[in-house]
Structure 1
Amino acid sequence: MADPLFINDLINQVLGGQIRIPSFQRGFVWDADRVAHLMDSIYKGYPFGSLLFWRTRTPLQTERNLGPFVLPENDPEYPIDYILDGQQRATSIFGVFQTTLSATAGEDDSWSKIYFDLYGDCSAQDSQFLFVPDDEVDQERHFPLKILFDPPSYRRFLKTMDESIADQVDELYRRFTTAKIPVQTFTTDDRAAVAIVFERINRLGVELDTLQLLSAWSWSDDFDLQEQFSDLADELSPYGFNDVGEDSDLMLRCCAAIIANDASPNTIIDLKGTDVRDRFQEVKTGIRGAVDFLRTNFNVHSTKVLPYMTIIIPLSVFFATESDQNTHPNANQHQVLVRWIWRTFFTRRYSKRLEQLNQDIREILKLKNGAAHSLGIFNCDIDASFFTSNVFNVRNVNAKTFILMLAAEHPLDFTGGGPIALGPVLRDCNKKEFHHIYPKAFLESIGVDRNRMNTLVNFCFLSRAANNRISGKRPSEYRSDMPAAYAQVAEILTKALCPPDIFHDDYERFIQERAAILVNKAKILMGSTDT
């Protein structure tokens, strides 16, 4: 255990360039409430966690800012302390108390404006620390923590302060200036050891954070892995898949899956730089092939509508090739791949253990080589509750699967009857292009609760123009806004996976009938039925 740091020590070491953030760390994600909660813990002397530093004299080629702040250069004569654990706490403490660095353009540092409520309740549970917007600050009530370590500002404030609260502010100053931040320092230049340490401290969080660690350094002087990832992101960006190249986790797992047929952290740690360099073109071909397959066969026009980004990992193994010619699945392989992907989405297979991903990597390699395989052979039961119990939310895995299922039918506009341009809708994937078949206003008028009206079963593709025309009307009323010809309406409803008659205004009947259609369609997509 290293000597603890006073807050002023932390600020000075950050400003001196000694304390830095490696690029494998996630960005700063705390909001103002969590920062205020940390200040309360420090003030009351409650345990608030320690900082774990990795000390090295060899700087990383890529680093991350400390929240919104660009860090000064380090003196090469001194070692660097990279934060392995406690980045959120260190960034919060530095941001609240420092007065030297300004946030970079476009970065939000409003969370650092934490105040002490001089007249708030003081108890073990309640907090007197809070975030206050600039236009709501009461200078007689809200003491800015920012000035505690800025002597000139602090002295000026003291002169304006009422004697009745002087003791309270003095105590505040004493507690923060004497508070000690526990520190552990791990000194090594063995980066594999750092990977192991980082994985172990994150084991209760996101186990695969080790993968981010390994993207922090290049494999050789003439091959910058980060640059390769960035180039691939630019290449995929026009197709809505720039997130793939920007996700170092995903990219490294694709590398490991293609090179070593295993996407686990230990495998990635063991990857040789020469193998990555020599086979990176194969990796890129595999990822490009996976993206093209998803776009062509599933209408995945951006990662926003992809239920699991990790589906790209085993899929890239199938399409990876050293040849200038892309890999093209034969009819049987194509059918197996499509069925496996639908089954993976509907069963939320990749919400579970890593081993299931590695199992699919092994089986997809067998499929690619024409060997006996079991890809997609796992339990995939589905019933009406999938559609009647899950609330529609475009960020939810089940909702994304449902959206792709609807898109597979090439839906038609409810009022005009023409094809819906799926590309723009599925690229942005926001709720504005998905609407209730039984409008909310109507359902509210008959007493249907919010969750019941917002389940997947009541949603379809519907343009804003069409929604504006039928919004608030019961189905029997908006039938007149649809094409007059019965055959055309029947086609619209069929392609929306709706029952042939939705105009009876019986919502419970509609739910039952549509859920049955959706379940049957899901089973067909998963190859679970021949109907």
Structure 2
Amino acid sequence: MSSLHNSEPRVVFMTHLLKQLNLGEIKIPRFQREFVWDWEQQHDLLCSILEGLPIGAILLWETRKSNMKYIENIGPFELKKSNSEHNIFLMDGLQRLTTLFLSIYHPTDQIKNHVESNNYDIYCDLNSSDINNTFFQKKTIQKIHSDQYISPRYMPLSAIMDTKKLLKYQRTIPIEKSKWLDRSDDIVSAFISYKLPVVPLETNDQDIVTKSFERINTRGTQMSETHMLNALSYSTDFDLLKVIEGAKENYLINNNDWYDIDNSYLILLIKVFVGFDIYSKRTEELVKKINEDLIVDIFKSLKKLAIFSNENFCINSPNDFPYKLQLITLAQAFRANMKKIDDETLKAWFTFTTYTGAFGTTARNSSNAINDFQILLKTGTLNWTLNSSINVEKWTKNINYKTARVKAWSLSLSIRLDELKGNSENQISLIESRGKILRKIKHPTIETKKIHRSGLYFISRNNKAIDINNISENELESNFLDDELINIFNDGKIDLFCDIREEKIYQWEIENLVKPASELLNIKYDTKNK
């Protein structure tokens, strides 16, 4: 089987495939994606089978290769081991078969994690005539009825392939509920008789298999780029996902927020660390450049970046950067073989790219911003090549903390307040709360709820809006207020109040944050009021 050979497709009972999975006769290769289907997707699959609708073919790789690593459990259930010299690996249909295995086969005598197994206790409502309202998770039923007891109205889906369990359950159905018994038989019959088309792929050439694996994953739940890279780079001595997990343990284990960094960040880091554009889709070329040293380099850099970000930006999580690509870009400065750029320059770059929206316009501009930073690391000079003017906008609109400009605007408020006490308490609280300490002030006679102006927002670490008439003299200036401005607000001139305060905040941002950063980087900018 050194060359590709496709056997004739065949049709087999779904239950037979599930038995093969349990016995280890069909294996799940380590380079497969995670079991990512959520309950809604699982529910739709079960409904399709009950209706007799097709759910797609299953692709199996048949090989005599004996050194392939495979997964030893599905969810909380440990799989049995097969001693067969002929290996069969599941290549397409993972989510479908694992969903059915967990909910229907459900081998309770092979449970390794009882808590996790509760997520796969699925029941059928025999009282429902609507297929879409037939399948429920056990925890949902208990919540609906506010009771741990499950009525005989609900048949456990795991009884379908367990004759003893099915008979035991059916004996609990009250005599007067014969319709439930009939419905139970109908559901069991639908699942037991359901068949699936199987396409076998016979070859010992793993390159052919992984290329096929890439091409078939263009439908259904989209495979993440990380898992695709894992599949294509997989060999008997290199497992990308396993290497990533090991690097996390070695370098980020003491930092929970960074330890849980999403794999989408890692795929971008891999690209920039090997010199690819972040939007490159040259997967097969990228695979050739991936190795354990590269992954270790990335995680060493992340560890240093985590410390730097905490000390200089009060950022303690990858998700707290104004732009995701700022993290990707900055990480390059902490590579082992990289010429060290002083911290003040890195801070200036972070501030300037945040305020000018360097990563918030087009994909080309984002790529250019990363390339410009890479040149900065090599030459010490930042050449701005973005295809847009360098503007810093005054923020006057409503507050949505998800946007980079609002994060910067909010941070300026917290920095100004922290200057009063000489600490970073408000900055830390702002970032950790994801902006929840931003509160709109209220007027005694005018409804401000529908007035969408940033000038009405203040930092308040108490769970209520501040009263601007009762703040100390020292705090007035730190909140961008003065006596005249408070009088304007009290007189009900809300728009004028916002105009003046927003301008105060903007001028402070320019003079204290943007201007120093631009001067250090030697880049000019324009102010832009909208």
Name the structure 2 match of 1:142: 154
Question: Residue 129 of structure 2 is aligned with which of 113, 121, 141?
Answer: 121
Name the structure 2 match of 1:348: 360
Measured in 2, the distance between the counterparts of 1:46 and 1:501 equals 70
Counterpart contact for 2:33–2:223, Cα < 8 Å: no
1:407 is the counterpart of 2:411 = yes
**SS of structure 2 residue aligned to 1:369:** helix
- 1:157-182: per-residue Cα shift (whole Å, max 9, x none)? 33343334433222212111111234
Name the structure 1 match of 2:246: 230
**SS of structure 2 residue aligned to 1:25:** coil
**SS of structure 1 residue aligned to 2:252:** helix
Corresponding pairs, count:
493
Counterpart contact for 1:413–1:419, Cα < 8 Å: no
Counterpart contact for 1:21–1:63, Cα < 8 Å: yes
Name the structure 1 match of 2:95: 88
- 1:115-146: per-residue Cα shift (whole Å, max 9, x none)? 322222347xx533333434266524222222
Question: Residue 378 of structure 1 is aligned with which of 388, 391, 394?
Answer: 388
Question: Residue 433 of structure 2 is aligned with which of 398, 421, 430?
Answer: 430
Task: Give the AA of the match of 2:374.
Answer: L
User: Relative contact order: is structure 1 or structure 2 higher (C-alpha 8 Å, sep ≥ 6)?
Assistant: 2
What pairs up with 1:467-478 in 2 under 5 angstroms? 467=463, 471=464, 475-476=467-468
Q: Which runs of 5+ in 1 are unaligned?
A: none
Question: Residue 213 of structure 1 is aligned with which of 219, 224, 228?
Answer: 228
Question: Residue 311 of structure 1 is aligned with which of 326, 350, 373?
Answer: 326
- 1:261-299: per-residue Cα shift (whole Å, max 9, x none)? 444665553357787456666545544554455445433
Q: TM-score, normalised by structure 2?
A: 0.73
Counterpart contact for 1:382–1:519, Cα < 8 Å: no
Name the structure 1 match of 2:265: 250
Q: 1:147 Cα shift?
A: 1.0
Name the structure 1 match of 2:376: 367
Identity among equivalent positions (%) equals 16
- 1:34-70: per-residue Cα shift (whole Å, max 9, x none)? 4333222211123444444455545655758534444
Counterpart contact for 2:229–2:287, Cα < 8 Å: no
Measured in 1, the distance between the counterparts of 2:527 and 2:325 equals 29
Counterpart contact for 2:413–2:479, Cα < 8 Å: no
Counterpart contact for 2:78–2:112, Cα < 8 Å: yes
Name the structure 1 match of 2:45: 38
CA shift in 2, pair 1:52/1:242, >3 Å: farther
Name the structure 2 match of 1:98: 105
Worse-matched range after superposition: 518-527 or 68-77 = 518-527
Counterpart contact for 1:457–1:515, Cα < 8 Å: yes
Measured in 1, the distance between the counterparts of 2:355 and 2:383 equals 17
What pairs up with 1:186-197 in 2 under 5 angstroms? 186-187=201-202, 193=208, 196-197=211-212
Task: Give the AA of the match of 1:314.
Answer: T
**SS of structure 1 residue aligned to 2:478:** helix
What pairs up with 1:246-285 in 2 under 5 angstroms? 247-263=262-278, 267=282, 269-271=284-286, 276=291, 282-284=297-299
Task: Give the AA of the match of 2:49.
Answer: I
- 1:452-488: per-residue Cα shift (whole Å, max 9, x none)? 479876555432xx33xxx367x35xx32x32x2x43
Measured in 2, the distance between the counterparts of 1:337 and 1:170 equals 65
CA shift in 2, pair 1:348/1:83, >3 Å: farther
Q: TM-score, normalised by structure 1?
A: 0.73
Name the structure 1 match of 2:3: none
1:421 is the counterpart of 2:425 = yes
Measured in 2, the distance between the counterparts of 1:23 and 1:64 equals 13
Question: Residue 156 of structure 1 is aligned with which of 158, 168, 178?
Answer: 168
Q: 1:199 Cα shift?
A: 4.5
Question: Residue 196 of structure 2 is aligned with which of 162, 181, 187?
Answer: 181
Task: Give the AA of the match of 1:77.
Answer: E
CA shift in 2, pair 1:291/1:446, >3 Å: same
Question: Residue 33 of structure 2 is aligned with which of 25, 32, 54?
Answer: 25
Q: 1:150 Cα shift?
A: 1.1
**SS of structure 2 residue aligned to 1:115:** strand
Name the structure 2 match of 1:11: 18
CA shift in 2, pair 1:155/1:281, >3 Å: closer
Measured in 2, the distance between the counterparts of 1:401 and 1:189 equals 54
Task: Give the AA of the match of 1:82.
Answer: L
- 1:174-195: per-residue Cα shift (whole Å, max 9, x none)? 1111112344455555555555
Measured in 1, the distance between the counterparts of 2:32 and 2:310 equals 30
Q: 1:430 Cα shift?
A: 3.2
Q: 1:411 Cα shift?
A: 3.4
Measured in 2, the distance between the counterparts of 1:339 and 1:472 equals 31
**SS of structure 2 residue aligned to 1:260:** coil
Name the structure 2 match of 1:328: 341
Measured in 1, the distance between the counterparts of 2:91 and 2:488 equals 59
Counterpart contact for 2:35–2:98, Cα < 8 Å: no
What pairs up with 1:442-481 in 2 under 5 angstroms? 452=450, 459-463=457-461, 466-467=462-463, 471=464, 475-476=467-468, 479-480=469-470
Measured in 2, the distance between the counterparts of 1:190 and 1:456 equals 61
1:491 is the counterpart of 2:504 = no
**SS of structure 2 residue aligned to 1:133:** helix
Measured in 2, the distance between the counterparts of 1:241 and 1:435 equals 23
CA shift in 2, pair 1:248/1:59, >3 Å: farther
Q: 1:327 Cα shift?
A: 1.5
- 1:408-444: per-residue Cα shift (whole Å, max 9, x none)? 5553669x967442575367x23585241326xx79x
Counterpart contact for 1:147–1:153, Cα < 8 Å: yes
Task: Give the AA of the match of 2:195.
Answer: K
- 1:88-110: per-residue Cα shift (whole Å, max 9, x none)? 33332122112314655485444
CA shift in 2, pair 1:110/1:366, >3 Å: same
Name the structure 1 match of 2:74: 66
Task: Give the AA of the match of 1:129.
Answer: F
Q: Which runs of 5+ in 2 are unaligned?
A: 1-7, 519-523
- 1:340-390: per-residue Cα shift (whole Å, max 9, x none)? 355457x535xx65x665444433333333378445553576767x76356
CA shift in 2, pair 1:388/1:94, >3 Å: farther
**SS of structure 2 residue aligned to 1:28:** coil
Q: 1:303 Cα shift?
A: 1.7
Question: Residue 529 of structure 1 is aligned with which of 512, 516, 526?
Answer: 526
Q: 1:8 Cα shift?
A: 1.4
Specify the structure having the higher radius of gyration (Cα): 2
Measured in 1, the distance between the counterparts of 2:228 and 2:34 equals 10
Counterpart contact for 1:363–1:374, Cα < 8 Å: yes
